[in-house]
Amino acid sequence: MKKNIAFLIPFLIALLLAGCGTQQPQNAEEFRQAIPGAFMGKVETVEINRSFRDVAATWQKRAPECLNVTVRSTDTGSAGAHTVVAVYKPTVIAGKERAELHVQVDYKAGVLNVGTVPPGGYYRLVADAYPLEGSRTRLQWYGPSRGMDVVVKAIKSWASGENLGCPDLTKQ
Amino acid sequence: MRASVLLALLFLAACDSSKPYPDFADRNLRIQTESTGAKVVMSVYGLDASCAAEYEGSVTLDQPVVHLGLPADRRSRLVFEFRSPGLLARTSIKKEVELLPRAGLRYDARISYKDEVYAVGLREIEPGSGQVRDLDPRGGC
């Protein structure tokens, strides 16, 4: 039973974001608007004791290196083998007043896509950084309350500069 | 029963196409590994001018420090695989880096896996001056 539920998580998150007949978010702004009202949606804001410029530069360096990943998961249960192939795509947009990090996931196999899949895949997480006074940065992220924990942890760690390692995306 | 276990082991051995990486006299690469919760295996591929890769062997990084040799003046691809138990089964994630070792220089790799976060760092060291340079792990291929 545990196995079956685990395999359904990506599908459930996509379904919950879609809502009852609602269109999937097709861009980062639509995702920001959809998440607060979505079941299992989460918005968190934290302040980082590091300059906005450094946060943006770290995201620009680490996100392409760590989040351009294809994860293949295979469950060999009693009903046979079931494989999910998820292609992660990060995008970083660094402006003067805001830096954005978008994470999209394109399910190439094993998941029934719900609604219109935006180019690059479903939006799974959007993180924004804003400059604050005193070389501090406000970090706000939008995403599911479960299922992207290692990515959220990595994005926060990159922002604070405490750990520049890559998240093990097989642990989602 | 014993026969079936033996057959299964033989089958698994046949499926595992990895081979030990050869030991070179000039061990120009030092690999420092710190891993909690994952077994780390490094595979080495030689790259030719057209970026075609040829598998040369694998090393299990189960010691804090491992020394080995990479051919100088030829690009190598190092594939670090972090294998760990997952929710459903064993999972693994791979990180590829490329390195073009220069003759006479030493190389340092720092590998870590902890709390579901992994890191691979590469440095080039000039033995004479002690000068250290961080290398961009993304290669030209």
CB < 8 Å to A69, chain B:
93
Q: Which one is predicted more confidently, B139 or A104?
A: A104
Taking CB atoms and an 8 Å cutoff, what residues of chain A touch B116?
150, 153, 167-168, 171
* pLDDT attached to residue A2: 39
Query: How many domains in chain A?
Result: 1
Phi, psi for A7 (deg, rounded to 5): -70, -20
Is A150's CB within 8 Å of B116's CB? yes
CA-nearest residue to B86 within chain A is A171
Query: How confident is the model over A111-163, as pLDDT tens digits?
Result: 777 788 899 999 999 999 999 999 999 999 999 998 899 999 999 999 999 88
In this structure, what CATH number is given to the domain that contains residue A133?
Answer: 3.30.530
Residue B112 at interface with chain A, using a CB cutoff of 8 Å? yes
Q: What is the pLDDT of residues B58-89, one digit of tens each?
A: 999 999 999 999 999 999 999 999 998 766 66
Q: Where are the domains of chain B?
A: 18-134
Q: Please check the confidence at residue A8 and state whether its pLDDT lies above 50.
A: yes
- In CATH, what class is B18-134? mainly beta
Q: Residue B137, SS3?
A: coil
- DSSP string over B16-50: ----BPPPPSS--EEEEEEESS-EEEEEEEEE-TT
Domain holding A92, by residue range, is 2-171
Residue B38's nearest CA partner among B5, B89, B81 is B81
Please judge whether B91 and A170 are an interchain contact, meaning their C-beta atoms are less than 8 angstroms apart: yes
Residues of B in contact with A165 (CB under 8 A): 112, 117-119
Q: Stretch A93-116: mean pLDDT, rounded? A: 90
Q: Which of B115, B118, B136 to mutate to test the interface with A (most CBs of A within 10 A)?
A: B115
Query: Does pLDDT of A9 surpass 90?
Result: no
Cα torsion for B65, B71, B72, B78, to the nearest 10°? -60
Chain A contact present for B88, CB below 8 A: yes
Q: Which pLDDT does position B22 carry in this prediction? A: 93
Question: Tokens 């990479």 label which residue?
Answer: B70
